[in-house]
A and B are shown apart, each in its own frame.
Chain A
């Protein structure tokens, strides 16, 4: 018995220790494979600073030293000072970005003949759960840890002197539940949860409280509303987020949700607005204000309902924490509106052609998979629809995104182009791009256009006069119209009737004041269009070209139509002003002037044939008829639930191979290019010129390449960068380019510091000053280094990026960026994974709040000013998601099929300004595919367009953990530099290409690409606050972080114990055998 027990015990010991050792070894392997993440999590580093010179400054410990070498010195002395400015600018962004869309005229008492402004100290009632749970920011990477802190609307309005109906407010809180709570409550049908996922297991619901439940059956509420009756403010919110778009239909679940479109009013919301309209008719309340607190804007069809009569419509976008303070001041006239919508609002979002190819309207099951568009013949390949790798989206609408569709079709109806169809602009578009009213009136006049001699630039000047009664600012908008003629039709070049090409904002003008603003328009914006089928470059086709000033896109178009002699008799909705236009005639086709890059001089030619399904080499029988203005009725599709409105595509053998198999193995090729130099030590092996004179006999550090003699950045094409890169080892380069999860690695050989990069889209919102930075360099976070009294606080939560665009105030945008950079410095962040520059194809985009808008010029330029500001403060921008990641549902590995003209003129154009004007130092590639190829592995996109045409010098990284469907060597080959991924398998995947000692030939091309990738990363880090504190005497030495010793000790201990347990087992078996034999 005793022996049996010993036997069982010994076996148990062996099995347990075997499993423990197995887990321990597995865990050790996993931890080492993700070493950079473990380092960051534990706050340990694999490098230390060593001063070669006793007087040298330690970059982390000596921040307070008066000799500390600052490259990006903070402009603020304390966090309190910084906070004052971020609050001020945050509020100003909302002040100048919020757009007044409708302001009814009538008798509102007290001499007021418009609904707004309200009288000071008005008594108001808030309706909708959106009021207690407003949209301050979004979800996901731009994660706000609590949805709502405090009661932003109530606090802001109260502080501005309003009396807020607290009886009603408290009733909303009581029925909805704590608005700051993050825990979803599926049993409370009133509750508006942050984000619900219609995957069948978590029902989607918008919640809110119907009229009867919040008013009719609440006597105390009824009494209070009668008292707080100056205005009923209905707050419309929708909370967008990473990973999930708003749905146009099919999936709404819940008890009484009649509408199936997330961007239509729900039955409950309608009941409230109808109830308020009844109260207004009865004289209980004076006015209804509809506040669109959302970057996912609603269809405005309810405005034509005879049961709903709102008096004012205001768009605020995502408010941020300080922006909300501007809202009451805008409503009572303390501030005057001057915002210009950065997108177009439809009466019905389904009338936006882009939506037709965003969702599968026939989906019956309530899950993501069925909503997406999958190749129709998956069973031929033994496959099932599998969310990402089997799905695609076709950008059938081409360039007709946002206002370009309705404005162009409107012109074609007025000019009676064939097949324009029965398009009624007035019934389709509620508010166009650029729309925004004011409390005063402005007159535009004296438009002059002059070409700048010996250039392709045009100066456009317009005089703005305040003809109203109160002060205000005015954003002057300039639009262009390109000729659309026979060559365009024959070569399928599409041209929008209006194209936003310039803007300028006046200062504050008092009544009677005037100001002349001047806008510079690049000739390329005015004349060039991309000809993907004929000349295969940018061309200028014969015909008339126009520039027009206007209050918005439609206004500018009407001015152009007036210049063409059109009036309301031709079907225009109002007569335009031809004096606000300029035109120029082009008589012959020009395929040369704009056929090269302005930045690099490189010849521009087709790069994206393989991403156009009609040209893709593996297209098979697939063919898409893109939308053309030559035949609107025959080529425009619209989303209708229950109908198949999207383009059907079949997978072909080649497409399948490219799309599914291609990313799993893309090997580098052997070439005749010699390997670059690695690990050179100039102290032992000096650099000499052809005459044998020594040029360099000491090792360079990164800081030596900071600036040239004139104070300018040293470009990466300078030979000194080659000298520096010669010092790096292969292993350092492999690690630097493969391990980049929200950081970049240090490199001892060149004194490259570690950089901590934060994942946010507008500012470093939600970051705590010190807790967020776990890179083991908290000391570099100035909040900690200076032991600031507010170091445990958090950075500003900024208004949404599209609100910045809506200001059309370049100086304000740049100031905002400078403050983002400042915040980064205080938080120890050198880079920001943001801002985002994907395009609003529709109102449904889940991450619209992170992006700047729908128009490439307006959104791109305003974002460029922000980047200029943030990088001047030492925070480098990693703009995202490059490119064509315009929807969340398809972001992971799904294919985007797009014609090249649209790719260049809309989606890449919005990115081009941040690179060329803003000077963005980095970019994050989208997770999806361009055609069949993952974006970070697309040579056309990265090497061809990004580096080849924009002159970009920074680095391109993947999105997070893209290694699971992306291939690191293929990224390097394409020109991408970094993986947002910490698996060491990336570094391992480079091993086959590593030269052995003395080897000169092998995978030379790949090696040089990897070296370029490393150089680009070094360039970005060099121009960030990561280099604060570095000098010639600062050295970085590699060390093993302490945790690796600990895990090794655990492994060895378990191993020894295991051996011991086997010895014990062997002894027990021997004893058993011996006693059995004796028996």
Chain B
């Protein structure tokens, strides 16, 4: 318990941002699975990159307690995961985007599309800021 308390107290603001991003990535994965899995716009690589990025990020966040430099790579892992997931999200959704923007059927976007896009952008931007400007541990730790 003491060790946990010390761990928490030693975390920098970047760690907490990474935590939020990790939670968002989990939500993204759930949204994607629920809303897209049954549709023709599903691309498995999106989910894979989200999960792998999330897992790597969390492992690095925890490992940072034992070896500080590892923890500093957590935001990069999270950011890479959500960034690559987003790229393949658009690969899978391309037909829907084409239709919604200028296709013959103008059917619009399926539920979950815009929440995914907004949250993904937040995660990517958050990761960039986290990598460049924020520390995962407090200075001096």
Contacts and interface: CB of A to CB of B under 8 A. Distances in A.
B87 A23 contact: yes
Interface stretch (B1-9, B17-25, B57-65, B101-109): B101-109
Interface string A1-27: 000000010011001001100110010
A30 B91 contact: yes
B108 A383 contact: no
B132 interface: yes
Contact of A19 (B83, B106, B107): B83
B78 interface: no
B107 A964 contact: no
Interface string A227-265: 000000000000001111000000000000000000000
A202 interface: yes
Assign chain A's interface to a size class: 20 to 34
B83 A22 contact: yes
A965 B40 contact: yes
Nearest to A30: B91
B84 interface: yes
Interface in A923-973: 961, 964-965
Contact of B131 (A11, A140, A201): A11
A893 interface: yes
Interface string A706-732: 000000000000000000000000000
Nearest to B41: A964
A772 interface: no
A615 B43 CA distance: 35
Contact of A141 (B104, B106, B128): B104
B4 to A, nearest CB: 28
A26 B103 CA distance: 25
B114 interface: no
A901 interface: no
A226 interface: no
Interface in A9-57: 11-12, 15, 18-19, 22-23, 26, 30
A335 interface: no
A199 B108 CA distance: 8
A129 B100 CA distance: 28
Contact of A964 (B40, B83, B84, B133): B40
Nearest to A1069: B69
A397 interface: no
B87 to A, nearest CB: 5
B106 A22 contact: no
Interface string A859-902: 00000000000000000000000000000100001000000000
Nearest to A663: B40
A849 B30 CA distance: 44
A468 B39 CA distance: 63
A925 B119 CA distance: 39
Interface string A301-335: 00000000000000000000000000000000000
B95 interface: yes
Interface in B100-131: 103-108, 110, 128, 131
Contacts of A888: 105
A244 B105 contact: yes
Contacts of B105: 197, 242-244, 368, 888
B107 A199 contact: yes
A303 B83 CA distance: 63
A202 B106 contact: yes
A1044 B108 CA distance: 34
A961 B95 contact: yes
Q: Which of B39, B105, B128 has the most CB of A within 10 A?
A: B105
Contacts of A631: none
A570 interface: no
Contact of B108 (A140, A201, A386, A961): A201
B132 A8 contact: yes
Contacts of A26: 84, 87
A139 interface: yes
A402 interface: no
A386 B132 contact: no
A893 B104 contact: no
Contacts of A660: 38
A139 B40 contact: no
A387 interface: yes
Contacts of B106: 197, 199, 202, 243
Contacts of A965: 40
Nearest to B79: A15
Contact of A389 (B40, B128, B132): B40
A199 B91 CA distance: 25
Contacts of B83: 19, 22
Given A243-B103, A244-B105, A11 B40 contact: no
Contact of B128 (A15, A23, A197, A202): A15
Nearest to A33: B91
A1039 to B, nearest CB: 27
Given A23-B87, A389-B38, A368 B104 contact: no
Interface in A360-410: 368, 383, 386-389
Given A11-B131, A383-B38, A389-B38, A242 B87 contact: no
Contacts of A141: 104
A202 B108 CA distance: 10
Q: Which of A26, A961, A964 has the most CB of B within 10 A?
A: A964
Nearest to B111: A384
Contacts of B38: 383, 386, 389, 660
Contacts of B91: 30
Nearest to B43: A964
Contacts of A386: 38-39, 110
Given A22-B84, A965-B40, A139 B108 contact: no
Nearest to A966: B40
B128 A964 contact: no
Contact of B107 (A8, A11, A30, A368): A368
Contacts of A22: 80, 83-84, 87
Contacts of A388: 40
A599 to B, nearest CB: 35
Q: Which of A15, A23, A30, A201 has the most CB of B within 10 A?
A: A15
Nearest to B84: A22
A888 B108 CA distance: 16
A8 B87 contact: no
A961 B128 CA distance: 35
A89 B16 CA distance: 75
Contacts of B41: 964
A160 to B, nearest CB: 35
B104 A242 contact: yes
B89 to A, nearest CB: 12
A389 B39 CA distance: 8
Contacts of A18: 80
A30 B84 CA distance: 13
A30 B91 CA distance: 8
A656 to B, nearest CB: 10
A23 B39 CA distance: 25
B111 to A, nearest CB: 9
Q: Which of B79, B80, B87, B110 has the most CB of A within 10 A?
A: B87
Given A199-B108, A965-B40, 10 more contacts: A8-B133, A18-B80, A22-B87, A23-B87, A26-B87, A140-B104, A202-B106, A244-B104, A387-B107, A888-B105
30 contacts: A8-B132, A11-B132, A12-B132, A15-B128, A22-B84, A22-B87, A23-B87, A26-B84, A30-B91, A141-B104, A197-B105, A197-B106, A199-B106, A199-B108, A201-B108, A202-B106, A241-B104, A242-B104, A368-B107, A386-B38, A386-B39, A388-B40, A389-B38, A389-B39, A888-B105, A893-B40, A961-B95, A964-B40, A964-B41, A964-B95
Interface of A: 8, 11-12, 15, 18-19, 22-23, 26, 30, 139-141, 197, 199, 201-202, 241-244, 368, 383, 386-389, 660, 888, 893, 961, 964-965
Interface of B: 38-41, 79-80, 83-84, 87, 91, 95, 103-108, 110, 128, 131-133
> 3 closest pairs, A vs B, by CB?
A243-B105, A243-B104, A242-B104
